[in-house]
Amino acid sequence: MNATAPILSRTGHEPKAKLVPSQIAHFVLYTKRFAEMVPWYKTVFQMHASHEDENLAFLTYDYEHHRVAIVQVPHMKDPQDGVAGFHHVAFTYRSLHDLLVTHERLQTHGIRPYWAVNHGPTTSVYFRDPDGNRVEMQVDNFDSAEEGIAFCRLPEFAENPIGVDFEPAELLRRLRAGETEAALKVRPNIGPRDLKSGFPAG
Binding-site ranges for Fe ion (CB under 5 A): 90, 136
Query: Who's near 121: CB < 8 A, 6+ residues apart?
Result: 140, 141, 142, 148, 149, 151, 152
What one-character DSSP code corresponds to residue 124? Answer: E
> What backbone phi and psi angles, to 5 degrees, belong to 31?
-150, 155
Q: Of the two residues 72 and 140, which places its CB atom closer to Fe ion in the complex?
A: 140
Does residue 58 contact residue 16 with C-beta atoms inside 8 Å?
no
Residue 129 or 136: the one with the smaller Cβ distance to Fe ion is: 136
Minimum distance, C-beta of residue 136 to Fe ion, in the bound complex (Å): 5
Q: How far is the CB of 74 from Fe ion (least distance, A)?
A: 31
Residue nearest to Fe ion according to CB distances in the complex: 90
Amino acid at 83: V
Of the two residues 29 and 117, which places its CB atom closer to Fe ion in the complex? 117
Residue 62 Cβ, how far from Fe ion at the closest point, in Å?
20
Q: What φ, ψ does residue 198 adopt, rounded to 5°?
A: -80, -20
Q: Which is nearer to Fe ion, 1 or 195 (CB)?
A: 195
Least distance from Fe ion to the Cβ atom of residue 122, Å: 7
**Burial, 167: exposed, middle or buried (Cβ in 10 Å; 0-12, 13-18, 19+)?**
exposed
